[in-house]
């Protein structure tokens, strides 16, 4: 109850409410209400921003065009604001949640409706670390921003592919999905997404629709895998893109011939290919020390280590081979980084790579950021014809 102030004067005693006491009481009441509505503190380090706007949640589910027979994969269900609406339209929901607190809240939410709860399968764990995803028809996700890239690649690589995916992303990440050759945001993600799927924009979502509000705006996109699936090995395709997009502003000749870790990887893969095809190789060393005097672009001169690994836009997706190779090669070349004895197999692989870049495709002087899907397909085909593989 607000305090009062009694004033005396010529007109007698007058009682007025104290405005400061009233404001303090209002703040106290508001604080109690907020505490009651706050289940626990959100862990923004793992991207916990709960979608609180019911209109946006309903619009996302409506855009998925769900059927009564659909099995839906939901990544990061949180407290179940999307889950509830999905269960109204789909046969079953498989929800993958990393936070045990959120999983407990989700379970509690459906305890009073056993029939609905039976159609909800809750998996506690990290979706990225799952060896393989269970079968699903549609994926719907208010995606934790930290796993946007690995989740997208995991969904693109899923076989059989889902009918469609409705995903919430940070706005800049969403723009990368649409980017074309020459655009600032053009990346390995852009090429991969557009190779395997049709990507369309669904809606913009402001930061105030979340609790707590993130630092960035969001976009909802629809990723619809192409059917039939392009007849290209996903591992080979993605392996090529990993190499060329480590430094997308370098010319391709420099990215391949001027980066010793890449050449050693291709040599190892070529040896494996020859062993599988019963092709004999001359393993002898060259007669003299070879100093690589290849011209490269302004990024550097001569053979260099793949020090662009840490600049890679998707570090979480980096193959273990490159991580180990970077450490090993850096130590090995401390004494003499620019001179090394090359074997005949290494020179054979080098000649094949040079032939592909300069003769077969004429793409050696082109930069990855300016190459389109057709250029990369041409490169992959030419390399494979020479027995050079990326997986």
Please check if 278 is assigned to a binding site.
no
> What is the C-alpha radius of gyration for the chain, rounded to an integer number of angstroms?
29
How far CA 34 is from CA of 27, 40, 267, in Å, comes to: 10, 11, 62
Please check if 11 is assigned to a binding site.
no
Distance CA 165, CA 175 (A): 16
Q: What are residue 244's phi and psi, to 5 degrees? A: -75, -25
Q: Which residues pair with 141 in a beta bridge?
A: 75, 167
Residues in the chain: 391
Cis amide bond preceding 160, omega within 30 = yes
| Positive/negative CA dihedral, 199, 202, 208, 210 | negative
Please check if 255 is assigned to a binding site.
no
Please check if 389 is assigned to a binding site.
no
Distance CA 366, CA 383 (A): 16
Please check if 304 is assigned to a binding site.
no
Please check if 219 is assigned to a binding site.
no
Give the single-character DSSP code of 301.
S
Distance CA 110, CA 239 (A): 43
- Known binding-site residues for S-adenosyl-L-methionine equal 49, 51, 76, 97, 126, 142
Provide the annotated binding site: 49, 51, 76, 97, 126, 142
């Amino acid at each position: 109850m607000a305090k009062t102030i009694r004033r005396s004067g010529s007109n007698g005693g007058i009682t007025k409410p104290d405005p400061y006491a009233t404001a303090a009481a209002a703040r106290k009441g508001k604080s109690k209400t907020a505490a009651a509505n706050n289940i626990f503190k959100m862990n923004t380090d793992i991207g916990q921003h709960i979608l609180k706007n019911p209109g946006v949640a309903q619009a996302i589910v409506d855009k998925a065009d769900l059927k009564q027979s659909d099995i839906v994969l939901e990544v990061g269900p949180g407290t179940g604001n999307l889950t509830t609406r999905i269960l109204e339209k789909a046969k079953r929901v498989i929800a993958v949640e990393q936070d045990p607190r959120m999983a407990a809240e989700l379970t509690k939410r459906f305890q009073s409706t056993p029939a609905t709860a039976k159609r909800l399968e809750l998996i506690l764990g990290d979706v990225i670390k799952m060896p393989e995803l269970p079968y699903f028809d549609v994926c719907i996700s208010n995606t934790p921003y930290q796993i946007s890239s690995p989740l997208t690649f995991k969904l693109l690589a899923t076989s059989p592919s889902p009918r469609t995916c409705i995903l919430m992303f940070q706005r800049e990440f969403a723009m990368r999905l649409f980017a074309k050759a020459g655009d600032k945001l053009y990346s390995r993600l852009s090429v991969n997404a557009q190779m395997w799927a049709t990507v369309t924009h669904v809606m913009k979502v402001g930061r105030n629709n979340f609790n707590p509000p993130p630092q960035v705006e969001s976009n909802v996109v629809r990723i619809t895998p192409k059917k039939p699936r392009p007849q290209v090995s996903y591992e080979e395709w993605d392996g090529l893109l990993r190499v060329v997009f480590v430094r997308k502003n370098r010319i391709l000749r420099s990215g391949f011939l001027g980066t010793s870790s890449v050449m050693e990887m291709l040599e190892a893969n070529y040896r494996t290919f020859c062993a599988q095809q019963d092709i004999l190789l001359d393993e002898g060393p060259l007669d003299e020390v070879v100093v690589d005097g290849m011209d490269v672009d302004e990024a550097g001169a001569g053979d260099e280590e793949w020090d662009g690994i840490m600049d890679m836009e998707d570090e979480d997706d980096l193959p273990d081979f490159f991580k180990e190779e970077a450490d090993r090669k850096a130590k090995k070349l401390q004494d003499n980084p620019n001179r090394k004895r090359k074997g005949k197999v290494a020179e054979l692989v080098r000649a094949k790579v040079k032939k592909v870049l300069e003769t077969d495709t004429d793409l050696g002087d082109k930069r990855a950021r300016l190459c389109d899907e057709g250029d990369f397909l041409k490169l992959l085909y030419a390399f494979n014809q020479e027995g050079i593989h990326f997986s």
